[in-house]
Structure 1
């Protein structure tokens, strides 16, 4: 257990671990999640954290890999037009600040997408913080995504909840701690 209600949690059956922020609910306890994904949602906000183990995209240069995965996510979110998806910045992460030393490179992307929830017509504006760890020796890209809604449409199923009084949302700092604490414990997870 860390400070502020955060805790180191095993991921993928203990093959990886990371510090998960306070008020996190493991969505796999509520519904089926793909084997290559871990998904956590804030108990009182619409924020979520995902960890995806993806096939290494060897055709994409390291400097463009985070953008590639962001655009792939935008396609899944039906937000692939310039009006609905925008990269704000991409920056390399220094390995000296990371627990996952097995990566050949790592990047942090910040962007926004206008997405609907549950295939609704209403679109919500979501800040996307995306961390990418490239592990070519395991043919894997590890993608960490923090979805942080900043504007909820009044027509969205997420509208009107108003949240729980005194609820503390996750911050970019919480995501940074999540990224920096990711650790590989068992490389067999990559097959």
Structure 2
């Protein structure tokens, strides 16, 4: 895929420039309608774009923390996660003009694949765009495994990483290029 070409998300309601070497997980299995899930073709990295319920009654940084803890719970990483930073994202860099505020959270989680005993350490880079006018929090989560347990199924055949890994710069390019084309997606 050409890295300058915009990828259609949610049936064309959104678009963004995606990093190279992506594979759309919906080509392999069913994905919930509120998610777009992509994996790197030769690493265990993934990117998830989600449209979630707007978290009212919280500050923006609290909402970012809430979504991180929700991801940790979904990953069965409760008690094995740590938030390293929560910072406002520069609004001037965003193409998504509907965004009321944007935040970037960086954290760590220890997670297992397929309910295995082995735990992998994963850097979590979470971009939160608040869209209160649509009662929506848009979340982009970049999962970047940094330590793979030798007994994890991810370690099997993992020595063949030939394609460059995604970076935080790839995530930044994605979120800065994100655009809304059809507000009808919000109902």
TM-score in terms of structure 2 length: 0.96
C-alpha contact 1:66 1:107 (8 A) present in aligned 2: yes
What's the secondary structure of 2:92's corresponding residue? helix
Indicate the SS of the match to 1:154. Answer: coil
The question of 1:160 aligning with 2:143 is answered no
> Matched residues in 1 for 2:104 and 2:143: separation?
14
Verify the 8 A CA contact 1:45 1:163 in the aligned structure 2. no
* 2:91 is the counterpart of 1:95: yes
TM-score relative to the length of structure 1: 0.94
Aligned to 1:51: 49
Total equivalences in the alignment:
187
Match of residue 115, structure 1, among 111, 120, 135: 111
**What is residue 24 of structure 2 aligned with on the other side?**
26
1:72 pairs with one of 49, 70, 73: 70
Deviation at 1:80, TM superposition (A): 1.6
Question: CA 1:33 to 1:165, structure 2 compared with 1: closer, same or farther past 3 Å?
Answer: closer
The 4+ residue runs of structure 1 with deviation greater than 2 A are 162-166
Q: Does 2:138 correspond to 1:142?
A: yes
RMSD of aligned residue pairs (Cα, Å):
1.2
CA shift, 1:165, in A, is 5.0
* 1:119-130 alignment, distance < 5 Å: 119-130=115-126
Conserved 8 A contact 1:7-1:22: no
Equivalents in 1 of 2:33, 2:159: separation in Å?
30
Task: Give 1:189's aligned residue.
Answer: 185
Whether the 8 Å contact between 1:116 and 1:124 is mirrored in structure 2 is yes
Q: Aligned equivalents of 2:185 and 2:165: distance in 1?
A: 31
Tell me the SS of whatever aligns to 1:158. Answer: helix
Q: Equivalent residues in 2 for 1:4-23 (5 A)?
A: 5=3, 7-23=5-21
Q: Structure 2 stretches of 5 or more lacking a match? A: none
1:64 deviates by 1.2
- Structure 1 stretches lacking a partner, 5+ long: none
**How far did 1:6 drift?**
5.2
